[in-house]
């Protein structure tokens, strides 16, 4: 293990190599601020963890960053298309990405930031910079059910692909896009699927081109769909839930808790950024994306706090331009 100290001048450190973090790096580089992007996985790690069959809501052009065209044979790109595209962006723009490093602290002293990160094999690295952009996303922190048994090994908050669940009794908890997508794929792969949803009908957020397929499965009793349910506990072989005041249970070999995700505010709070307790929204200027800590900016879905349905790649990709324009004016850059 080594301890390395790197001193940087007119440097920005971007925490998070998702599309919004990469876009911010591109825009800052264009005004002469060199960037280092630190990512605890590899580039667009959240997209990598999407289900293998995932299709994006948006057309390819709405996912473009850095003015680099996203060429795709289909109107709506799939997960693999996006992985290829963002790798190409990083290569073409020659971005300095440090993968598999976890940022452990951000400190500010005398107008400069000290960012400490850790790599499992290479140890601790300390970098200093003039600016920091937090673009950490939210996919790494599931919204927990907070019920007994949630920690059991057959319970997961992520769904990758359906094949391992062939002929297995799978309980999907949730009723929005991720839950509906998982249920459809699971049924195709021969799983016995039950969906438990707290709502009283189909969620209005379900993609309109997906809902008919799910509705058909429910109507033909290929997927069991239980509404107005409250999870009581998860056991090794069943899920216990309450419905209309009556406690019931359903047998389960696997449980997929597709209940959404939340931003991890640990770095924000430790860096001095104020977080609204109710909404989870960091304190920031909506025009510049600068937080209450001067020189520390945010980009991407973290700006939405706990409501991840407000900001997507489509609009978060423009945050970097706003940050760059702010720093262009601050540094008197005219070109």
Specify the pTM.
0.89
Mean pLDDT of the chain: 93
- What is the C-alpha separation between 319 and 297, in angstroms, rounded? 10
Per-residue pLDDT at 1: 45
Per-residue pLDDT at 261: 86
In a domain, 59, yes or no: yes
Residue 326 tokens, joined: 């702010």
Per-residue pLDDT at 335: 62
Per-residue pLDDT at 205: 87
**Cβ distance 13 to 36 under 8 Å?**
yes
Residues 58 and 13 in one domain: yes
Residues 130 and 223 in one domain: no
Residues 164 and 246 in one domain: yes
In a domain, 149, yes or no: no
Domain boundary among the residues 231, 257, 283 is at 257
In a domain, 147, yes or no: no
Residues 195 and 211 in one domain: yes
Other C-beta atoms lying within 10 Å of the C-beta of residue 292: 12
- What is the C-alpha separation between 117 and 232, in angstroms, rounded? 39
Residues 305 and 212 in one domain: no
Residues 267 and 129 in one domain: yes
Residues 133 and 266 in one domain: yes
Instruction: Write the CATH number for 268.
Output: 3.50.50.60
Contacts of 214 (CB under 8 A, 6+ apart): 180, 183, 184, 202, 206, 223
Mean pLDDT of 116-143: 92
Is pLDDT of 202 > 50? yes
Residues 63 and 104 in one domain: yes
Higher local confidence (pLDDT), 219 or 278: 219
Residues 308 and 166 in one domain: no
In a domain, 62, yes or no: yes
Least confident of 3-17, 118-132, 309-323: 3-17
Q: pLDDT above 70 covers what percent of the chain?
A: 96
**Cβ distance 293 to 273 under 8 Å?**
yes
- Beta strands per DSSP E along 167-220: 169-173, 192-196
Position 8 confidence tier, pLDDT thresholds 50, 70, 90 = very low
Domain boundary among the residues 257, 277, 298 is at 257
Each residue of 164-179: pLDDT tens digit? Answer: 999 999 999 999 999 9
In a domain, 72, yes or no: yes
75 by Cβ neighbours in 10 Å (0-12 / 13-18 / 19+) ranks as: exposed
Per-residue pLDDT at 6: 45
Position 52 confidence tier, pLDDT thresholds 50, 70, 90 = very high
Per-residue pLDDT at 310: 77
Residues 222 and 114 in one domain: no
Residues 166 and 33 in one domain: no
Residue 192 belongs to what domain range?
Answer: 155-257
Domain boundary among the residues 233, 257, 281 is at 257
Residue 40 tokens, joined: 């605890």
Each residue of 150-164: pLDDT tens digit? Answer: 999 999 999 999 999
Is pLDDT of 2 > 90? no
Per-residue pLDDT at 9: 61
In a domain, 150, yes or no: no
In a domain, 148, yes or no: no
Per-residue pLDDT at 145: 96
In a domain, 189, yes or no: yes
Least confident of 2-6, 210-214, 298-302: 2-6
Is pLDDT of 333 > 50? yes
Residues 33 and 127 in one domain: yes
Each residue of 236-258: pLDDT tens digit? Answer: 999 999 999 999 999 999 999 99
Domain count, the chain: 2
């Amino acid at each position: 293990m080594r301890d390395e100290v790197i001193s940087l001048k007119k440097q920005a450190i971007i925490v998070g190599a998702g599309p919004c973090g990469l876009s911010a790096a591109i825009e800052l580089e264009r005004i002469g601020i060199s960037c280092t992007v630190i990512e605890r996985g590899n580039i667009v790690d959240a997209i990598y963890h999407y289900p293998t069959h995932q299709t994006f809501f948006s057309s390819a052009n709405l996912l473009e960053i850095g003015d680099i065209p996203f060429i795709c044979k289909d109107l709506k790109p799939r997960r693999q298309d996006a992985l290829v595209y963002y790798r190409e962006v990083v290569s073409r723009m020659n971005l300095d990405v440090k993968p598999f490093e976890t940022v452990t602290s951000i400190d500010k002293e005398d107008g400069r930031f000290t960012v400490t990160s850790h790599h499992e094999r290479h140890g601790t690295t300390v970098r200093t910079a003039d600016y920091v952009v937090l673009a950490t996303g939210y996919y790494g922190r599931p919204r927990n059910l907070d019920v007994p048994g949630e920690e059991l090994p057959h319970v997961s908050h992520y769904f990758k692909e359906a094949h391992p669940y062939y002929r297995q009794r799978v309980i999907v908890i949730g009723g929005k896009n991720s839950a509906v997508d998982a249920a459809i794929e699971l049924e195709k792969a021969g799983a016995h699927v039950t969906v438990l949803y707290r709502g009283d009908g189909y969620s209005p957020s379900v993609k309109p081109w997906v809902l008919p397929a799910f509705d058909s499965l429910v109507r033909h009793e290929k997927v069991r769909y239980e509404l107005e349910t409250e999870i009581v506990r998860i056991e090794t072989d069943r899920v216990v839930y309450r419905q209309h005041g009556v406690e019931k249970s359903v047998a389960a070999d696997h449980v997929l808790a597709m209940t959404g995700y939340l931003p991890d505010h640990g770095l924000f709070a430790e860096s001095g950024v104020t977080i609204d307790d109710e909404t989870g929204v960091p304190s920031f200027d909506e025009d510049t994306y600068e937080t209450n800590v001067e020189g520390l900016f945010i980009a991407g879905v973290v700006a939405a706090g706990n409501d991840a349905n407000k900001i997507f790649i489509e609009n978060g990709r423009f945050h970097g331009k706003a940050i760059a324009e702010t720093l262009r004016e601050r540094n008197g850059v005219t070109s």
